[in-house]
Amino acid sequence: MIFDFHCHSTYSDGSQTPEWLAQAMAAAGVELFALTDHDTVAGVHRVQIAAQANGIRALAGVEISCRWGAHEIHVVGIHVDALATALLEQLASQHARRLARAERICQKLQKQGLPDVFALSLHLAQPAEPAQPAEPLDAAQAKPQQADLGGCPGRPHIARALVSLGAVKDEATAFRKFLGIGKSAFVVTEWPSLAEAIAWIRAAGGVAILAHPLYYKVSRGRLESLIRAFAESGGQAIEVVSTNLDSLQRSMLANLCLKYGLAGSVASDFHGASTPWIRLGKLPPLPDTIPSVLTLLPINKFI
C-alpha cells in the first residue's frame, strides 16, 4: 500500500485546500493518507469527503507542537477522533498559544522598523473555502467544532505578509533575517511537553509518530535520547522515510526503531507552494526490517 501520513493544507501553513490534496494524492497513486495540519483537525471533515470522492481514504490527523528540554518537537497523530471533546479543547489551547506568539512576533518586527503585519497575517491564515460546500459523510457526523476558531497565523504566514508589503524580497529572507530560530523576531513558545502531546493523541484513539526526527539538528546521541524519551512516553512510530533523507539516514532511523520497539512511517511533509520539489507518491518504501505504522491501525477498514 502506498501511504503518506504527513501533509498540510490551508488550515495551517499549506498552500492547497484539503480537496486539492485529496485529488493530488489519488492522482499520484496514494491509497491512504493523513491530513496533519499544525495543531488543528479543522480540515479533516473536508479532506475525508474529498478523499472518498476520489476513491481513496484519508485519516484524521494532526501535528502537535511540543517541547522536549530546550527543543521544539513535532508529534504527528493519525487516526485520531477529530470530534473528541478533550482533543478539541487541547488544540484550542494550542490555537491560543499560536495566536499569542504571532502577535508577539509582529510586535518585535515593528520595533525593528518593519510594518505591522499582524492583521494581514491573520487574513492570510484563513482557510480557503471549498468550491462546493462539504456534506457530512453520514447523517450522524458533525463538522469538527475547531473549524469555528478560524485560521491562526504561523511564521510562514507572517513571512508571506512581509513579502506582500515589500518589507523583504522573499520568505526565505524573512526567516533568515527575522523569523528563524534565534533570529531577532523569534519567540520561544511554552508548548506542552512531549509526553503531554503523545498522551493527547493516544487518548483520542490515535497513533503517535515522531515527525521528521533529523530536522531538529541535534547530535546523534541527543537524537537517540529524544527517541528513547518518545518511546518511554508512549510514542509508537517515527518517520523513517521522508523527503530529503538518503538511504543511510533511513537505515539509521530504522535501526533506532528496532532498538526502541517503534514502527516506521512514510511522510512527505507536503506544504504545496513552499515545497514544490516534493512529488507525492514517490517516496521509497519502508525498510522491510521494521514494522510499518500500518500494523498499528485497524487496517481492514482501509483496504
For the stretch 265-274, pLDDT in tens is 999 999 998 8
The beta strand positions in the chain, using DSSP E, are 3-4, 32-35, 57-68, 71-78, 207-210, 237-242, 263-267
The residue-averaged pLDDT of 208-234 equals 96
Record the cell numbers describing residue 267, joined without a space: 511522510
Query: Can you give the pLDDT at residue 86?
Result: 97
Q: Which among 196, 229, 5, 209 is positioned nearest to 89, based on CA atoms?
A: 196
Q: Can you tell me which residue has the cell 533511513? A: 250
Q: Can you tell me which residue has the cell 490551508? A: 10
Strand order across the beta sheet in which 263-267 lies: 3-4, 32-35, 57-68, 71-78, 207-210, 237-242, 263-267
Distance CA 253, CA 247 (A): 10
SS3 115: coil
Q: Which among 219, 258, 230, 254 is positioned nearest to 240, based on CA atoms?
A: 254
Per-residue confidence band for 199, with pLDDT thresholds at 50, 70 and 90? very high
SS3 195: helix
Is the pLDDT at 131 greater than 80? The verdict is no
Helices 220-232 and 247-260: crossing angle, nearest 10°?
40
Record the cell numbers describing residue 100, joined without a space: 499569542
Query: Can you give the pLDDT at residue 276?
Result: 86
pLDDT digits (tens, 9 = 90+) for 240-250: 999 989 999 99
Length of the chain: 303
CB of 121 closer than 8 Å to CB of 158: yes
The residue-averaged pLDDT of 261-287 equals 94
Record the cell numbers describing residue 39, joined without a space: 495543531
Distance CA 173, CA 179 (A): 9
pLDDT digits (tens, 9 = 90+) for 33-90: 999 999 999 999 999 999 999 999 999 999 999 999 999 999 999 999 999 999 999 9
Question: Under CATH, which architecture does the 3-102+190-301 domain have?
Answer: Alpha-Beta Barrel (3.20)
Share of the chain above pLDDT 70, in %: 92
pTM of the predicted model as reported, rounded to 2 decimal places:
0.91
Distance CA 7, CA 59 (A): 11
Q: How far is CA 123 from the centre of its chain?
A: 20
